[in-house]
Every structure is written in structure tokens, then in C-alpha cells.
Structure 1
Amino acid sequence: MSSTPPADFPDLALSHFELYVRDVAQMEAFYTAGLGFIVSDRGVGPDAMVFLSRNAGEHHQLVLNPRPSRRPQDSPLDHISFRVANLAGLRRFHQALSAAVDVALEAVSHGTTWSLYFRDPEGNRLELFADTPWHVDQPCKFAIDLALDDAQLLAFTEQQIRARPGFRPLEQWRVEHDAAFDRR
């Protein structure tokens, strides 16, 4: 398999995911009540697809498809990841999801992010994350307590990653990362 240099590709932004679902009403309720999506469109008839978004500029970011799945028994999808703007937003989702029945939450940091992992009612694994102010080489993962205030969580996270390879301020990593793309 050949590799094409990134310079040969136009910019690419993640648009949406489509999930095959068994119970479209249950899934719609989960994504709207638990994660704040709105229904932006809906098909007609018994096999109606539901289109959901959290961004006014995107018609849909997620499609719920009640038709029989074309995916293998075990989906190759590990998780779907959504960025939130800050810790306050992450905590808001944590609060909403904690109120949901049968949602097991895992709060972790990857050094570069504070993340919540959980599964929707049909077992699809989701991640919600907010960036930390640091970069650290991956993989990195450790449990966090979102009950800590911002200053405590910042101090705890930095203590966990300061000695790890690649530790530096995120802005420094971005400058280095941008320079690498400029050299291509």
C-alpha cells in the first residue's frame, strides 16, 4: 500500500456518522435528551432515518438508520468522538449522562484531553472530550475525577504527565506540528 503525502489531499473535516439501530425511538431519545442533539430532519415511513445535529452549520452530524445492518456482527468501529469546548461543557454532559439509566461512564485523561467514554443503548462506544493545555506522546490514559474543580484537575493532570515523553504546552506542540506540515 502506498502512502500519499498529506500535501496531496484537500482539507478534510469530519461530517457525520451513520449508525444502524434496532430501536430508532430509543436511540433518538438517548441522543436528544442525553447529549443535546436536535432532530434536523426525518425520513418518511416505517424505515425512516433520523438526522441529528448539534451544529447549526451542519444539517446532520449523526444519522440513525433503522434498516437492517450491513455491518458485520462485530462492528469495526471502536468509538465515535465528539469535541466539547471546555471542561464546563464536559461536566454538563457528565451530569446529563449520569442521570441516564444504564449508562456506565469512564472519566479519563489522555494527557492531551479529559474524556468521557460510554456506550449508547445499542452498545456503540462514544467519547466526549475537552482539550487540556498540554501535549504528551500517546498512548496515555489514566482515571480522573470530574468532581475536582478546574484548578485541582489541572494540577492533577499535569502531575500525571509532566515526566512523560513529549510533555510540553499544547501551543508549542501546535507550532511544531504546523512547521512539520509547512515542510512537506
Structure 2
Amino acid sequence: MAAVSALGHTGLWVHDLELMRDFYTRVIGLTVTDEDEDLGIVFLSARPEEEHHEFVLQRGRTAGDGKLLHQISWRIDSLDDLKTFHQRFRDEGVQVQQEVTHGNAFGIYFFDPEGNRNEVYLRIERDVRQPFRKTLNLDLPPEEIHVEAQRLLDDAGPAYQPTQ
């Protein structure tokens, strides 16, 4: 059976293209790789040398306050990066839903200026039964974050213990 190998890109219809472009470039750190002002569309990438675009914003959102998606998840490379986003979101007044451990990842759920839920996350190389989502204090020093995440996992019981 054929299967996809990766998520290529996703896109959002938006009300305020300039506001959303600013958020995803300045706050999240994506790079604009293409745009068409007449069509009101912006293409963005976290890896512009490798992928033309992973994310598209286009003017034309019409669905009032309806939920248009579950979440957009952005993978990051280090705990230092996660802590940087933690502070950046505070500095920028970004609405954070929860800072979490999933056992196999540490993440921050947050909302963009138009209310779309996003997540930045660091993959932890182990398998843990999902769903597993416990609040994690990212104000702690890095070594204590790892200790706290392990304690939360241990407290969850044997059904959630890593398989590796």
C-alpha cells in the first residue's frame, strides 16, 4: 500500500495577511520564499535551502470563528530552542495554552494572532504510549526539566513506560 513519507506543506486562509506574515517570520522564525501580493499569498519555509515552502498563508478566510484546523506542529532541534520560544512567547504576549511533556517530546501549545493552535516541540528519542500530556515547567534549568519530565512519566504508571 502506498503511504506518504512526510508532510509537504500546509496552509491557512487568513483575515490579516500582514499580521500573520509578521508573526510567522518574526516570532516563529520562518523565511518567506515566495509571495504574490495581487493574489494575497505568502510561501514560508523553516528550511528554505531544502524545501521551497512548508507553510502557506493566503488572504480570504471566510469562516468566522469556526475551527479550521486542529494544530500546526513545528519541530525544533534543542531544549535551548524550546526555552528560547518559551521566553519569546512571553516577551511577545503570545497566548500559550500549555507547556507539556508527551513522554516522547517536550512542547509548547500556543495560538497565532488569528487563534490557530500551533505547537513547537522537541522530539525525545523514545516511544511512549499516546495520548500522554502533562504540564511541564519550562522555567526550570534544562537538567531539571528532564528530571521533572521523567517523574511525570514515572507517575503515570507502567502503561506509559517507554518501549525503548
| TM bucket normalised to smaller | 0.7 to 0.9
| Structure 2 segments unaligned to the other structure (5+ residues) | none
| Structure 1 segments unaligned to the other structure (5+ residues) | 1-7, 173-184
TM (norm. structure 1) is 0.79
Distance 1:76 1:122, change over 3 A: closer
Is the Cα contact below 8 Å between 2:153 and 2:160 reproduced in 1?
A: no
| Cα displacement (A) at 1:75 | 2.9
Question: Matched residues, percent identical?
Answer: 31
Deviations 1:9-50 (A, max 9, x none): 1442111111000000000011111001111100132x3201
Aligned pairs for 1:113-128 (under 5 A) are 113-128=105-120
Is the Cα contact below 8 Å between 1:119 and 1:126 reproduced in 2?
A: yes
- Higher mean Cα deviation, 12-21 or 125-134? 125-134
| Cα displacement (A) at 1:142 | 1.2
Find the partner of 1:59 among 37, 52, 59. 52
Deviations 1:87-121 (A, max 9, x none): 111112222222113x1222111111111001101
Is the Cα contact below 8 Å between 1:35 and 1:96 reproduced in 2?
A: no
Ranges of 4+ aligned residues in structure 1 off by more than 3 Å: none
| Cα displacement (A) at 1:72 | 8.2
Which amino acid is 2:139 matched to?
Answer: A
Aligned pairs for 1:123-162 (under 5 A) are 123-162=115-154
Tell me, what secondary structure is at the counterpart of 1:39?
A: strand
Distance 1:68 1:168, change over 3 A: closer
Structure whose alpha-carbon radius of gyration is higher: 1
Is the Cα contact below 8 Å between 2:72 and 2:117 reproduced in 1?
A: yes
Which amino acid is 1:62 matched to?
Answer: F
Distance 1:76 1:33, change over 3 A: closer
Is the Cα contact below 8 Å between 2:99 and 2:108 reproduced in 1?
A: yes
Is the Cα contact below 8 Å between 2:129 and 2:162 reproduced in 1?
A: no
Find the partner of 1:167 among 155, 161, 164. 161
| Distance in 1 between residues matched to 2:107 and 2:85, nearest whole Å | 11
| Distance in 2 between residues matched to 1:126 and 1:22, nearest whole Å | 17
State the partner residue of 2:69.
Answer: 77
State the partner residue of 1:33.
Answer: 26
Find the partner of 1:44 among 37, 46, 71. 37
State the partner residue of 1:16.
Answer: 9
Distance 1:13 1:72, change over 3 A: farther
Is the Cα contact below 8 Å between 1:136 and 1:168 reproduced in 2?
A: yes
| Distance in 1 between residues matched to 2:100 and 2:160, nearest whole Å | 19
| Distance in 1 between residues matched to 2:148 and 2:113, nearest whole Å | 32
| Cα displacement (A) at 1:132 | 2.6
Give the superposed CA RMSD.
1.8
Find the partner of 2:95 among 71, 93, 104. 104
Aligned length: 160
Which amino acid is 1:25 matched to?
Answer: E
**Which has the larger share of strand?**
2
